[in-house]
Protein backbone atom coordinates (compact mmCIF):
# COMPACT_ATOMS: atom_id res chain seq x y z
CA UNK A 1 0.00 0.00 0.00
CA UNK A 2 1.32 3.44 -0.84
CA UNK A 3 0.20 7.03 -0.77
CA UNK A 4 0.16 8.81 -4.09
CA UNK A 5 -0.05 12.62 -3.84
CA UNK A 6 -0.77 13.04 -7.56
CA UNK A 7 -3.76 10.79 -7.39
CA UNK A 8 -4.79 12.37 -4.14
CA UNK A 9 -5.00 15.72 -5.89
CA UNK A 10 -7.31 14.26 -8.53
CA UNK A 11 -9.54 12.56 -6.01
CA UNK A 12 -9.46 15.13 -3.29
CA UNK A 13 -13.20 15.48 -2.96
CA UNK A 14 -15.26 12.65 -1.60
CA UNK A 15 -18.97 12.04 -2.06
CA UNK A 16 -19.97 14.48 0.63
CA UNK A 17 -17.69 17.27 -0.65
CA UNK A 18 -15.06 16.79 2.02
CA UNK A 19 -11.41 16.82 1.09
CA UNK A 20 -10.03 13.29 1.68
CA UNK A 21 -6.67 11.67 1.05
CA UNK A 22 -6.67 8.86 -1.51
CA UNK A 23 -4.76 5.65 -0.93
CA UNK A 24 -4.07 3.60 -4.08
CA UNK A 25 -3.48 -0.07 -3.45
CA UNK A 26 -1.56 -2.36 -5.86
CA UNK A 27 -3.63 -3.71 -8.68
CA UNK A 28 -5.24 -7.01 -7.94
CA UNK A 29 -4.66 -9.34 -10.81
CA UNK A 30 -7.40 -11.81 -11.66
CA UNK A 31 -6.53 -14.36 -14.33
CA UNK A 32 -9.45 -15.97 -16.10
CA UNK A 33 -8.30 -19.13 -17.80
CA UNK A 34 -10.32 -20.72 -20.52
CA UNK A 35 -9.27 -24.26 -21.32
CA UNK A 36 -10.06 -25.95 -24.59
CA UNK A 37 -9.82 -29.71 -24.57
CA UNK A 38 -8.48 -31.37 -27.68
CA UNK A 39 -8.42 -35.10 -28.26
CA UNK A 40 -5.36 -36.42 -30.05
CA UNK A 41 -5.77 -39.98 -31.26
CA UNK A 42 -2.55 -41.95 -31.30
CA UNK A 43 -2.87 -44.95 -33.58
CA UNK A 44 -0.44 -47.85 -33.28
CA UNK A 45 -1.34 -50.30 -36.07
CA UNK A 46 -0.47 -53.98 -35.77
CA UNK A 47 -0.31 -56.42 -38.64
CA UNK A 48 -0.82 -60.10 -37.92
CA UNK A 49 0.30 -62.53 -40.62
CA UNK A 50 -0.99 -66.08 -40.33
CA UNK A 51 1.27 -68.45 -42.24
CA UNK A 52 -0.02 -71.86 -43.28
CA UNK A 53 3.13 -73.88 -43.87
CA UNK A 54 3.30 -77.17 -45.74
CA UNK A 55 6.43 -79.26 -45.41
CA UNK A 56 7.11 -81.74 -48.20
CA UNK A 57 9.54 -84.51 -47.37
CA UNK A 58 10.87 -86.23 -50.46
CA UNK A 59 11.78 -89.87 -50.02
CA UNK A 60 13.71 -91.61 -52.77
CA UNK A 61 13.31 -95.30 -53.43
CA UNK A 62 15.48 -97.42 -55.70
CA UNK A 63 13.72 -100.75 -56.06
CA UNK A 64 15.92 -103.69 -57.11
CA UNK A 65 14.50 -106.74 -58.83
CA UNK A 66 16.42 -109.94 -58.38
CA UNK A 67 15.86 -113.09 -60.36
CA UNK A 68 17.65 -116.30 -61.02
CA UNK A 69 18.48 -117.50 -64.49
CA UNK A 70 19.79 -120.92 -65.39
CA UNK A 71 22.71 -120.64 -67.75
CA UNK A 72 24.02 -123.69 -69.57
CA UNK A 73 27.36 -123.61 -71.29
CA UNK A 74 28.20 -126.33 -73.78
CA UNK A 75 31.87 -126.86 -74.43
CA UNK A 76 32.64 -128.21 -77.86
CA UNK A 77 35.98 -129.66 -78.73
CA UNK A 78 37.80 -128.54 -81.83
CA UNK A 79 37.28 -131.96 -83.36
CA UNK A 80 33.58 -131.70 -82.89
CA UNK A 81 33.56 -128.27 -84.54
CA UNK A 82 35.40 -129.65 -87.55
CA UNK A 83 33.01 -132.54 -87.73
CA UNK A 84 30.03 -130.20 -87.40
CA UNK A 85 31.29 -127.81 -90.10
CA UNK A 86 32.14 -130.73 -92.47
CA UNK A 87 28.69 -132.20 -92.19
CA UNK A 88 27.05 -128.95 -93.17
CA UNK A 89 28.65 -128.92 -96.61
Q: Please give the average per-residue pLDDT across 32-44, as a whole number.
A: 95
Instruction: Give the side-chain half-sphere CA count within 13 A for 88.
Output: 6
Distance of alpha carbon 64 from alpha carbon 11, whole angstroms: 130
With bands split at pLDDT 50, 70 and 90, how would you rate the model's confidence at 9? Answer: very low
Statement: the pTM of the whole predicted model exceeds 0.85: no
Amino acid sequence: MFFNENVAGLWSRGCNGNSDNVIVHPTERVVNTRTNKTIVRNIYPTEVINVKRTIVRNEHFYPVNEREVNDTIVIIDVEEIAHFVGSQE
